[in-house]
Amino acid sequence: MKKAYLFVLLVAAIAMTGCRQSTRVSSPDKTIELSFCLHDQVPYYSVIKDGRQVLGTSRMGFDDHKYTMVSLRSSSKNELWETTWGEERIIKNNYRELQVTLRDEQNELMVVRFRVFNDGIGFRYEFPGEGGSFEICNENTEYCFTDDPEVWTIPWRTPYYEGLWEKCPMTALRDTVCSPVTIEYSNGSYAFLHEAALDDWAAQNFYVADGAEPSVFPVLGTYLTPWSTGVSVYGERGKTKSSWRMLILADNITELAASRLMLNLNEPCKIEDTSWIQPMKFIGIWWAIHLDHYSWCYRLLDEKGNVIGLAPKHGATTENMKRYIDFAAGHGFGGVLAEGWNEGWDGDWTSNLASFTTPTPDFDIEYLSRYAKERGVQIIGHHETGGNIQNYEQQLDSALSYYDRLGIHNVKTGYVHAKLEGKEWHKSQYGVRHMNHVIRTAAANHVCIDNHECVMPTGLCRTYPNLMTGEGVRGQEWDAWSTDGGSPAQHLCVLPFTRCMAGPVDFTPGTFDFSNPIHPETRVHSTLARQLALFVTVYSPLQMASDMPESYMQHPEAFRFIEQVPCDWEQSHVLDAKIGEYVVTARQDRHSSDWYLGAITNEEEREVSVDLSFLDKNKNYTAEIYRDDSQTDWQQNPYKIVIEKRTLTASDTLTLTLKAAGGAAVRFTEL
């Protein structure tokens, strides 16, 4: 990793010698200004917001290349566009652009394209030309901060990003961390450092550059996830572009959550007919497997891999699937997931070569697909690769066309192995290329993707809305078997401003049975009301309710909220929050005038006062409230819930008491 110049030294050096060939571009509302210059043939940029220096003079470029200026070009855009699905139906895209064309010492061109929005900045590197390959080992992009803010991060080697986000001062970072990074300033403002439109590039990571100490301003350097060869990016001139480097700048936490800068940096939808892409809630033969009621495998093998019998508890059977389909049809779920339906799960399934078109003998997929269609339900397909990418790509076309023929239009993909093919990082250019190839091939076969063990989302769902959701998170499954006892309640008060800012997340809320006889030391850290609230505070257009049908029937009145809550929204607002402590979110249904509200807290009991001015000022609403009771205790009495109705208006304030690890969910219906 290349040693970075400290901000204070850079400013002094440039002030003495002068920064030649400098230019600047501001946001449409003129609150943000980005400056670009060449100094000693090295490109630099800096950012000012509301007259305050946010980023000092920060280096750009790759490896040891030197550059000269070729041309500058300015443009702008101001448009409204409609999402196929999302947290909002209409998004405003308004920016000013500066295109800087540079030439390196080998006479090759590089374009740096800056876009400055009212809520932040983005820039990417482009490599024009008429063919010719190149390699990149190091990216020199830096972020030279002008104070020492606190940051929420996870280490870059965290498997599948399934870690607990932690906060510390930026200068206290002792490990390279993955993108994104959420930044809290002492004055109450926020920033979000990430990337957009990661297509044929390596995912970025960040490290505190050499020489940064607590007494000076921190510099974050960029570390691209490498191939096993040590090369970060293999490129081709005329085709290769980096992902957008992006920084959201917000005066407060509600503005941070409201930013759609990442989506605006992605290209418009490339799928002409999107009618087959349908947001839905679904259930699955899944949580019961995690609790060891069932198994993924169909056969039992000995140590040498010989079949010695049939697994006594195989979960993905025709009988089980019919039961789940019937439950889904009766309770408003659009789909049912069955994991372990296909050949290849027996023994050490991560090294087996699975078949993605051959069901196990006890899973009649042809019959079940017809039966599901008759009941108005879809099967959610499942492709677990075990990281065996070559095996999967050889079958990809046939597997997806097979699903299309069966009327299966959603598939959950998986890559449970530390490295793809045993050698490449998931978020290397190798992994990025593969997963985006799957998305495009799936689109051609009318199949939507729920990508697990994925690359961190970067807004490609705008361009390919069949990329509906993904994991990349320590999800609720950890609460079934994690040896640390399960995720703390704080975790879900952090995610809306870290992982969820990167895109939809398949967290799988909705656990109704907190007992765990297999791992009694592990459990969901939650009350029943909090599980309902998660359907609002955690966004996914494919929203899986985690638990088993029999668990839901133990609490049918509370389950009614899950039956009713949608997963496609007209508009969304974080009303109040503090990262790691509590979140209050309101969303309006895209297909009705109903509003839904979710409020959750960490391990501390608290009272929140919710301003209801987001409601229509000319209407009265029936508020159906699901909240913790005064006797609710997440460890001893988690199922205690109060369900009540009140008439409320936009001028009212709703006060909710959230017990420790608790929450509240509300449905507002016009009278």
Q: Are 504 and 470 in contact (CB under 8 A)?
A: yes
Amino acid type, 238: G
Closest Cα to residue 84, out of 506, 440, 461, 589?
461
d(C-alpha 242, C-alpha 158), whole Å: 23
Burial 612-646 (b: 16+ CB within 10 A, else e): bebbeeeeebebbbbbbbeebbbeeebebbeeeee
| Nearest C-alpha neighbor of 191 from the set 151, 243, 161 | 151
Residues 625/651, Cβ–Cβ less than 8 Å: no
Helix/strand/coil for 300: strand
Of 126, 477, 581, 605, which one is the catalytic site residue? 477
Q: For residue 477, indicate whether it is catalytic.
A: yes
The crossing angle, in degrees rounded to 10, of helices 365-374 and 318-330 is 10
Best CA proximity match to 606, nearest among 659, 653, 664: 659
Distances (CA, A) of 55 to 8, 40, 144: 12, 20, 5
Closest CA to 597 of 652, 660, 523, 542: 652
CA 543 to chain centre: 13
- Cβ(450)–Cβ(443) under 8 Å? no
Whether the Cβ atoms of residue 580 and residue 354 lie closer than 8 Å to each other: no
516/331 Cα distance (integer angstroms): 25
By annotation, the residues acting in catalysis are: 477
